[in-house]
């Protein structure tokens, strides 16, 4: 389990990583690119096309053969197709606009998730520091109680209380570490780096 000592990335760095790694955003950008290519291909259908063909052969009665050659060049100019091309172009334009809007919305959602998860991670680290201070204080109190008993100026009640506070402080410390690692998972999910986060948790 991670002990909370790692460096927390800045919001800018985390957002940059998220925009480069999030699988859902990558998939959406691919759909947007496909829609854009489809629109370009439909628009290019309006351009004239030139075609060329050629043929080489022979002709004759078997005893005398003469070579034959033919070359053809054709120009195709799309003029009217019943409006089908314009309808397809309009449909592709709408689809591309929808994909762009989805991508922008997802980017905003990713930014929000990254900032919230980083704030949660910072709060969890602060809880770890508080829990560690409490643990150190409880260990010192237990050591003092043991010295007081050895000196004959205290009884077992004080020692028992110190042991109880130490056990509680250890539980608080473990809980803080657990919450910190959950927060790390949230950051990893927001930035699209879940695999690295899971590896970092295994000690």
Tens of pLDDT, residues 71-97: 777 666 666 655 677 788 888 899 999
pLDDT at 202: 41
For CA atoms 125, 131, 134, 136, give the dihedral sign. negative
Fold (topology level) of 11-47+83-201: Outer membrane efflux proteins (OEP) (1.20.1600)
Whether the predicted pLDDT of 45 surpasses 80: no
In angstroms, how far is the first alpha carbon of the chain from the final one? 6
Beta strand 49-60 with 65-76 is: antiparallel
The interaxial angle of helices 156-191 and 84-150, nearest 10 deg, is: 160
- Using the Cα atoms of residue 198, residue 15, residue 174 and residue 3 in order, give the sign of their dihedral: positive
**Averaged pLDDT, 169-196:** 91
Dmax over CA atoms of the chain, in Å, equals 134
Comparing CA positions, the residue from 76, 81, 34, 74 lying closest to residue 54 is: 74
Predicted pLDDT of residue 203: 41
Strands (E) located in the chain: 49-60, 65-76
Q: Where are the domains of the chain?
A: 11-47+83-201
Would you say residue 113 has pLDDT above 50? yes
What pLDDT was estimated at residue 6?
73
**Residue 200: pLDDT band by 50, 70, 90 thresholds?**
low
């Amino acid at each position: 389990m991670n002990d909370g000592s790692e460096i927390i990335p800045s919001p800018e760095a985390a957002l940059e990583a998220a925009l480069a790694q999030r699988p859902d955003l990558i998939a959406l950008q691919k759909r947007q690119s496909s829609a854009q290519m489809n629109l370009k291909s439909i628009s290019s259908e309006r351009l004239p096309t030139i075609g060329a063909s050629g043929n080489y052969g022979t002709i004759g009665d078997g005893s005398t053969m003469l070579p034959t050659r033919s070359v053809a060049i054709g120009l195709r100019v799309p003029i009217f197709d019943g409006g089908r091309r314009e309808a397809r172009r309009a449909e592709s334009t709408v689809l591309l606009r929808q994909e762009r809007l989805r991508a922008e919305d997802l980017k905003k959602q990713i930014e929000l998730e990254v900032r919230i998860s980083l704030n949660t991670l910072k709060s969890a680290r602060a809880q770890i520091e508080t829990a560690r201070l409490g643990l150190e204080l409880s260990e010192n109190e237990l050591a003092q109680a043991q010295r007081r008993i050895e000196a004959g100026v205290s009884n077992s009640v004080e020692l028992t209380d110190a042991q109880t506070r130490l056990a509680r402080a250890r539980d608080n410390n473990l809980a803080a570490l657990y919450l910190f690692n959950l927060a790390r998972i949230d950051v990893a999910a927001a930035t699209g780096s879940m695999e690295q986060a899971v590896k970092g948790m295994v000690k």
